[in-house]
Chains A and B, each alone.
Chain A
Amino acid sequence: MIEVREITKRFGRKEVLKGVSFTAEKGEITCLIGVNGVGKTTIMNAIMNLTPIQSGEILIDGQKINKRSYEKIMFIPDAITMLPQMTIQQAMQFMDDFYESWNEKRAKELLDFFKLEEGNKISNLSKGNTAKINLLLGLALDVDYLLMDEPFSGIDIFSREQIADVFTSHLVEDRGVIITTHEISDIEHLIDKAVILNDGTVVKSFYTEEMREKEGKSVIDVLREVHLQ
């Protein structure tokens, strides 16, 4: 389980996170929802220790993040995490070299699934294909937790469908996934838990099926309610 406890974060004088708390369980897909700029990416970066927090703590399976954590949790940010002049093959080789949890078989499988060629240079890929490679580099690791920042943004509809397929497949099963989005309508049927962020805090956090069962509301309904207040 990933626990985020009362984290605060300032950029200069601006307070972006004013005490954010939530949990993400293994085997569930948790979605951080909020408008652009609310701090979703910052939270992800904070979980991965890619940006410091002013207070609060973040625990991964009960422990603070350390170098070994990166074999258990992987972040797929909005930007490509490889050198643009590398070929896909070289990028995969790099991952293999440094990560014990790299699963070569699954990497090849994903390459097929996304219909990508090993020999292509990353700088020559389209935006959709770059996103897919980024995903591949994370999914091909046997990690317990995956964090994905806006995996669907700015991508053509066909690539989006391919990426959505990943969530319903064995590639993501049994893992704890946290994704962020500002556009929930396409994917609300895929997520287990919704964490709504507004003005630096968690406004509401709930299980989607529970919300449907108990109150007959979709995630979008809840979003509307939250913003009406």
Chain B
Amino acid sequence: MNITFNKRDPLYVQVIRYFKEQIATGAFEPGEEIPSRRELASKLKINPNTAQRAYKEMEEEGLIYTEGNNPSKVTKDIEKIASVRQEMIMEAVDAFVHAIRPINVSLDEVVGLIEAKLNEEQPEQEGRK
């Protein structure tokens, strides 16, 4: 587990983001056990309070759940997972559109470029995460 943190965005937000990515790609499976707050803090080299905050928010958002004293687990809610996936996609699309808009390129050209890029980078993507 490895996150490079930037120091300008709240750390707990970056942790949540990382979890969302893992959930969206299926790297974290539904119902899978996640590390305890302490373990997470230790692994990521962050303040335990940050880990605590992240877990609290994720629990509130329904991304993870905790049964009694058992370790927390990733949600089994398929809809939730799908919506997270959607969220990630929309974020990427938002960012992309925002970046590409000033350049004034046609939709066809854009789609073609995206398709070519996706085909080219496919094998790499597995390794990157």
Contact = CB atoms under 8 A, between A and B. Distances in A.
Determine direct contact between A and B, CB below 8 Å: yes
Interface of A: 27-29, 164-165, 167-170, 172-173, 188-192, 209, 212-213, 216-221
B60 to A, nearest CB: 16
Interface in B1-28: 5-13
Interface in B79-117: none
Contact of A218 (B7, B38, B42, B53): B7
A121 B31 CA distance: 52
Chain A contact surface mostly: loop
A28 B46 CA distance: 13
A190 B38 contact: no
B7 A209 contact: no
A168 B39 CA distance: 9
A219 B49 CA distance: 17
Chain B contact surface mostly: helix
Contacts of A216: 8-9
Nearest to B47: A190
Contact of A209 (B12, B41, B42, B48): B12
Interface centre among B9, B46, B47, B49 (most CB of A within 10 A): B47
Contact of B8 (A164, A165, A192, A217): A217
A96 B7 CA distance: 41
B73 to A, nearest CB: 22
B10 A212 contact: yes
Interface string B38-58: 100110111111100100000
A213 B14 CA distance: 11
A85 to B, nearest CB: 36
A189 B44 CA distance: 10
Contacts of B38: 169-170, 173
B7 A29 contact: no
A209 B46 contact: no
Nearest to B51: A168
A177 to B, nearest CB: 10
Contact of B49 (A28, A165, A170, A220): A28
A29 B5 CA distance: 19
B7 A165 contact: no
B7 A188 contact: yes
Given A173-B48, A190-B47, A168 B42 contact: yes
Contacts of B9: 212, 216
